Amino acid sequence: MKFASLAQATQAAIAATAQVDELTAKVSEMSEQLTALNTSSVAINEKIVAVTAENAQLTEQVAALLTENASLKNAEANANAQMVATLASVGVEPASQAPLKQEADSVSKEGLWATFHKLPLEQQSAFYSKHRAILRA
């Protein structure tokens, strides 16, 4: 580009310098934003690593609890079988466990009273003692 005079060349140089300064300021601003985003990204990645590790620990705990639960259910089944065998050896038939399973399903006061009234008299006292706080409320 040719300029007719030194004044025009100076004006063009001043305008170009202003544009360079403006672009430099924008680059600096964007660089700061990029640095902030990188810092946020590092923090987020650290949180992801921490949550992933915690998730792995919780998964292990759940697996351990499921194993323990299965073991307890197995022990309960063995104990029930031994109880039935012991009762049978002395000529007594075990009572039905169905009302006790219904008990777990009803937690409202009305549901508990309904379950209470369905139970045989021998089981009502223990049931009432166990749920006294709810039944009296």
What is the residue-level pLDDT of the chain in tens, covering all 137 positions? 677 888 889 999 999 999 999 999 999 999 999 999 999 999 999 999 999 999 999 999 999 999 999 999 999 989 988 888 888 888 887 666 545 444 444 478 888 898 989 999 888 999 998 888 888 87
Contact 89/70 with Cβ under 8 angstroms? no
* Spatial separation of the C-alpha atoms in residues 93 and 86, rounded to whole Å: 10
Q: CA-based Rg of the chain, rounded to a whole angstrom?
A: 39
- pTM, whole model, 2 decimals? 0.43
For 104-132, the DSSP string reads HH--SHHHHHHHHHHS-HHHHHHHHHHTH
pLDDT at residue number 135: 86
Report pLDDT for 104.
47
Q: Coil, strand, or helix at residue 86? A: helix
SS3 45: helix
